[in-house]
Amino acid sequence: MNGTVFHPWPAHTSKDWNLKAMRLQHRLHAHPALQLDALGALIDSYPRSDYALVHTSRHGDGRARWREGDINGTPGRQAIDAIAQGSLWLNLRQAHLHGAAYAQMLQQAYDEVAAQVPGFCAGALKLGILISSPRAQVHYHCDLPGQLLWQIHGRKRVWVYPAATPCLQPEWLEDIAYTGFEFSLVYDPAFDRMALVFDLEPGQMLTWPLNAPHRVENADCLNVSVTSEHWTRENRRAQKVHLANAVLRHRMGLRARGRPLSGPGYWAKAALQAAWRRSPWAGAAQKALRPLEFRLDARAPGGLVDIAGAAP
């Protein structure tokens, strides 16, 4: 893209990177590839394997209900209109693999961080695009890779919590590595007293310390956000140690105390988790994919049709 992604880069940002949650200014919201018509065209050719469409509601007893669905050939721009009307979110995972513009903006953003933050080496990168309904929420969770949240359209509020007890227990990170499911955290509203709260508008982004738990609430408007993911060498090593500790606990009943990222202790855990990944039990520990329960259909009331045979 023309010009820098970050604008400006305040002087304190380099020393506070990954140590503090920070809201910075960016220019991605003006990028042509992130305007609604361009996103509609992207959806039109997006592979089924790389997106998730989710409808959220409540059961009669108030519990959250979460159903996965299919775009069903709905033109992308119409799908965005359906999201603007409903209780839906669409996650276009790995958009950097499906459009050169997304790969380019991702690489440029991290090149700028690497040029500003001494010692930062991003490693493998991913870019996702999240299109979500007015008032949609993302529940309390944390991510194993480093993550940045870029607001493109609409407004949202983000709560960022300390990456330490009681907001984050080491066993929760281990369970995420073991199950592949980020929502293994236990949220207590009392944590909110320890949270930093950020309102995000188009042209603003958030960065936070690795593994910091967070939750999100959209304002009363359609939201488009970009999430970028990076795996530094330390991130990858920590993930292997989390997985090894989870295997020791779940399969052998051993509670691991150490979380070494170097030396013989690290290499022993790296070998253990590698053996686990090759074992037949590893796949069974991962959360099963949800069945598809609805499809978009502009002719139906509410714009959704239940798929016959899906669980109520």
Q: Which residues bind Fe ion (CB under 5 A)?
A: 143
Closest approach of Fe ion to the CB of residue 139, in Å:
10
Closer Cβ to Fe ion, 74 or 232, answer by number: 232
Q: What letter would DSSP give residue 298? A: T
DSSP E strand boundaries for the chain: 22-25, 51-58, 64-70, 88-92, 124-132, 137-141, 146-153, 156-160, 196-200, 204-207, 214-218, 223-231, 292-296, 304-306
The backbone torsions φ and ψ at residue 162, rounded to the nearest 5 degrees and listed phi first, read -60, 140
Closest approach of Fe ion to the CB of residue 147, in Å:
6
Distance CA 14, CA 23 (A): 13
Closer Cβ to Fe ion, 135 or 139, answer by number: 139
Q: Which amino acid, 261?
A: L
Closest approach of Fe ion to the CB of residue 292, in Å:
24
Distance CA 112, CA 107 (A): 9
Closest approach of Fe ion to the CB of residue 79, in Å:
23
Closest approach of Fe ion to the CB of residue 137, in Å:
12
Closer Cβ to Fe ion, 50 or 143, answer by number: 143
Closest chain position to Fe ion (CB):
143
Closest approach of Fe ion to the CB of residue 213, in Å:
9
SS3 state of residue 233: helix
Closest approach of Fe ion to the CB of residue 168, in Å:
13
Closer Cβ to Fe ion, 173 or 248, answer by number: 173
Closer Cβ to Fe ion, 44 or 143, answer by number: 143
The backbone torsions φ and ψ at residue 158, rounded to the nearest 5 degrees and listed phi first, read -125, 130
SS3 state of residue 4: coil
* Both structure tokens of 165: 């007890």
* Helix (H) / strand (E) containing 77: helix 76-85
Closer Cβ to Fe ion, 14 or 239, answer by number: 239
Distance CA 291, CA 58 (A): 18
Closer Cβ to Fe ion, 77 or 236, answer by number: 236
Bin 146: left if φ > 0, else alpha if -120 < ψ < 50, else beta: beta
* Placement of tokens 């795996």 in the chain: 231
